[in-house]
Structure 1
Amino acid sequence: MTKKAESERVDIYTRITDRIVEDLEQGVRPWMKPWSAANTDGRITRPVRHSGLPYSGMNVLLLWSEQMSRGFSSSMWMTFKHALELGGSVRKGETGSTVVFASRFTKSVADGNGNDVDREIPFLKAYSVFNSAP
């Protein structure tokens, strides 16, 4: 792994941890009911992709935090590419919110005896999404 790729990976973990710690310091417990329903028309729903598929894991906490702190009324999120595909656009200067995709890939490596052994390697990929609120 290159030095740049390693520092980017650490940055993903750091950004996510810092965001959660920041909310905790403000008295927010993300595992409880989200912060405030003031800007959500009285209903708080799980963040969903443009296709209606809900986000899971830490992405739920990250997007709830972004939705509340930035005052978004919508819980729908999409990438820049999806916005264009759907005939929409992202306003110039708009800041995306970070979400992560976690998965594993299998790599064959030789063991000490010269036999191939499959090894599962976990990885995180961060990308930006934008809220669909006008």
Structure 2
Amino acid sequence: MARSRTPKFDASEVITNEIIRIIERGVLPWRKPWTAGGSSRPLRVGGEPYQGVNNFLLTMRTVMAGHSSPFWMTLPQANALDAKVRKGEKSSVVVYYGQSRKDAGGEDDRSDGDDHSEEARIFRFQKSYRVFNACQIDGLPDSFFPDPEPVPEHAPSEPIPHMQAFFDAIDITTVFTGTEAYYLPPVDKVYMPSITRFQDPRNFYGVWAHELAHATKAPHRLNRDFGFSKFGNTSYAREEIVAELTSVFLGQTLGFTAHTLEMNAAYLHNWLRVLRSDKGAIFRHAADAQRACDYLIARSETGRAGRSAEAA
């Protein structure tokens, strides 16, 4: 008699289906303003912020569960701190990537050493593991539950100095005119409405981040190309996901949430069409977004350093 086999756990499929179910309810939880214990990003047990798709996933789960701590850890990490995960608490799946070298003889080597053999081939692999938020764990030190920082107040329709300085220093031309926001590749310019059209200035910076993310796809920047793009097709939808997540990641650093001038059924459908057809899409596009975020941060830092040098 043939033995029944338990289907192999597919982290990509599980995570993608989770996101699909959330979006089908018409919700984008990563757009909700939040901080947990003074941090706008989920943190590892040692305090390092998660990046890429894990940042996105744990941000979404923190918001939806209402966790007040930014810290996440594995069961062994909790046990090492003499703490216990409460009975019945559900873990969250996250992923990590590594690489494997296979030589001509077929031997698999996953060590970190150098292999100078011309016969060796490099393979990337994805694995998953499970983490719990500190709010799901009893017995942790108080340091895992920092006090929340006060939410700053901003005058309506007025620039927020540190955000304005960040964006002004990026060497991508932005023209402030009209009522629409978009990036125009033929002239390599971003077009934005004036901040005076935004009651909440944080939304202005969320939209600006979204459009600058599109500008990073230019060949002389990150050279990101999903093929011929027109409104509503898959290439367009993939680029929109990258821009959305770039705005999420930048907003965590600067203090705004992702925002677009339009958030309707068609926008949600863009996400769903891509995710339903490609279970690996969110992982690749979160990595694209992390690269775009890092690029914009680097360009802003370079621009501000140059201005400081000129003023000296």
Equivalent residue number for residue 132 of structure 2: 130
Identity %: 34
Q: 1:61 to 1:38 in 2, by over 3 A?
A: closer
- TM-superposition CA deviations, 1:54-86 (whole Å, max 9, x none): 111110111111111112111110000111111
1:99 matches 2:100: no
Structure that is richer in strand per residue:
1
After TM superposition, the structure 1 = structure 2 runs for residues 1-134 of structure 1, keeping only pairs within 5 Å, are: 7-8=8-9, 11-29=10-28, 34-37=30-33, 40=36, 45-110=40-105, 117-133=119-135
Structure 1 stretches lacking a partner, 5+ long: none
- TM-superposition CA deviations, 1:71-118 (whole Å, max 9, x none): 21111100001111112111112110000011111111259xxx9711
The answer on whether the counterparts of 2:42 and 2:71 sit within 8 Å (CA) in structure 1 is yes
Once residues 13 and 96 of structure 1 are traced to their aligned partners in structure 2, the CA distance between those partners, rounded to angstroms, is 16
Once residues 127 and 31 of structure 2 are traced to their aligned partners in structure 1, the CA distance between those partners, rounded to angstroms, is 27
Shift of 1:35: 3.6
Q: 1:5 to 1:120 in 2, by over 3 A?
A: farther
The answer on whether the counterparts of 1:95 and 1:130 sit within 8 Å (CA) in structure 2 is yes
- 1:109 is paired with a residue of what secondary structure? coil
Query: What's the C-alpha RMSD, in Å, of the aligned pairs?
Result: 2.9
Q: 1:105 to 1:88 in 2, by over 3 A?
A: same
Once residues 95 and 5 of structure 1 are traced to their aligned partners in structure 2, the CA distance between those partners, rounded to angstroms, is 21
Structure that is richer in helix per residue:
2
Structure 1-normalised TM-score? 0.75
- 2:87 is paired with a residue of what secondary structure? coil
The one-letter code of the counterpart of 2:18 is: R
The answer on whether the counterparts of 1:102 and 1:125 sit within 8 Å (CA) in structure 2 is yes
